[in-house]
Each structure stands twice: as C-alpha cells, then as structure tokens.
Amino acid sequence: MDRRDILKASAIFLGYGLVGGTSIAVLNGCKADKSVDWLPTFFTQDQIDVLAEVAERIIPKTDTPGAKEALVHRYMDEAVKNNFKKEDQDKALEAVGIFDVQANELFKKKFVDITDVQKDQILQGLADASKKDDDSSLGKIFPQLKSLVVAGYFTSEIGATMALVYDPIPGPYQGCIPLSDVGGVYS
C-alpha cells in the first residue's frame, strides 16, 4: 500500500483525526482562494512556500494532482488565520520555522532549496519525533501539520473529486457492502 492509499483510507476517519483549529476550519468551510493574484494573509510568502513544499511531500502528485495543485498551502493560511487560537497560531509560526532550521543544520540550505529526498528525510525525522511521546514542539509538529494537509486536500475540489470517488447523486442507501464493490472512499 503506498502513501496515497493510506491517506485515502485515513480520509474515512478525517473527523476523528482532526485536532483543534483544523476541525473548526473544516466545519467552517475554509476554502483556498483560487485567484491568480493571491497573497498570504497570515504567513509570509517564504513561510507559504515552505508549507507548499511540505504539503506536496505529504501528498505528492501521482496519477492525481498533489497538494500544491489542490492549493492546500492557501487553505492552511486561511485556516490558521481564521480558526486557530492565538497560542496555536504562534505554534504554527514556530513550526514552519523549524523546517528551515532543520534544512540549514543538515544541508546548509533553506527547506525549499533542498532535494525531495532531503525534504523527506526532515519530514521522517519529525514523524519519528512524534512517535516518541515527545512533549516538545518538535514532537507535535508532524501530526498536526499532516492533519491540516489531509483536511485541506480532501476538502478541496481536487481531493474530493479526483482522489476520492466522487458521486454527486449517490443513489439509494446500501449498508454493509464491501469497499471493493463501491470502488473507494467517497467524498
């Protein structure tokens, strides 16, 4: 099972996996601004560039568009600005900075300038830190960021219509049928 399939399956439990402001953002209907002249309103442009790269490494482009094409970074800017408490916003700003700190320590470059393999190495390090019951900010970054990326992707038009099986008129209710009969997770 590849990363995309795992994320699709986790979309079933999206409501259970969202934390704090992420669930509020989904419930409030946060959407990414699709305008050509869009500028971030909470994060700086450099921070948004980092978030776009992180989101793309979590949900990369395969046979369906990735997180960048779904404008997940724009969703994240809107969600954090409008739905996170002040203390959570401060933590989000700190979290974005950690990617450049890690990239500089390991590779002497900014996060957006390193290779995809190096980005994955940093993300894996953060994921590993989150598994160690680490109460530091480093240990909490990856799960919270991943939940925000997954929420942004699967609530976007691209995620809901291309990554998930989209059926605007699902028809009659049929309970207890195998997932293989319906062909995937529905949005």
Q: Please list the pLDDT of the chain residue by residue as tens digits (187 residues).
A: 555 555 455 544 444 444 444 444 444 445 666 778 899 999 999 999 999 999 999 999 999 999 999 999 999 999 999 999 999 899 899 989 999 999 999 999 999 999 999 999 999 988 888 887 656 556 677 888 899 999 999 999 999 888 887 776 766 666 677 777 777 666 6
Q: How many domains does the chain have?
A: 1
Predicted local distance difference test score (pLDDT) of residue 35: 78
> How high is the pLDDT of residue 177?
73
Please check whether residue 25 lies inside any domain of the structure.
Answer: yes
* pLDDT value of residue 131: 83
**pLDDT given for residue 163 in this prediction:** 85
Q: Check if the beta carbon of residue 124 is closer than 8 Å to that of residue 130.
A: no
Is 126 a member of any domain? yes
Q: Got the DSSP string for 104-149?
A: HHHHSS-GGGS-HHHHHHHHHHHHHHHTTT--SHHHHHHHHHHHHH
- What residue spans of the chain are helical by DSSP H? 3-12, 14-17, 20-27, 45-58, 72-83, 86-107, 116-130, 137-154, 157-158, 179-182
Q: Domain range for residue 26?
A: 3-166+174-182
- Structural domain contains residue 160: yes
Residue (of 84, 78, 31) closest to 51 by Cα position: 78
**177-185: long-range contacts (C-beta < 8 A, 24 or more apart)?**
184/8, 185/8, 185/9, 185/11, 185/12
So what's the pLDDT on residue 96?
Answer: 93
pLDDT of residue 129: 83
The pLDDT assigned to 6 comes to 52
Domain for residue 8, yes or no? yes
AA letter at 14 = L
Torsional sign, CA 72, 63, 130, 186: positive
What length is written for the chain? 187
Question: What confidence score (pLDDT) does residue 135 get?
Answer: 60
**Beta bridge partner(s), residue 186:** 165
Question: Is residue 187 domain-resident?
Answer: no
* SS3 (DSSP) at 186: strand
Residue 31 pLDDT: 61
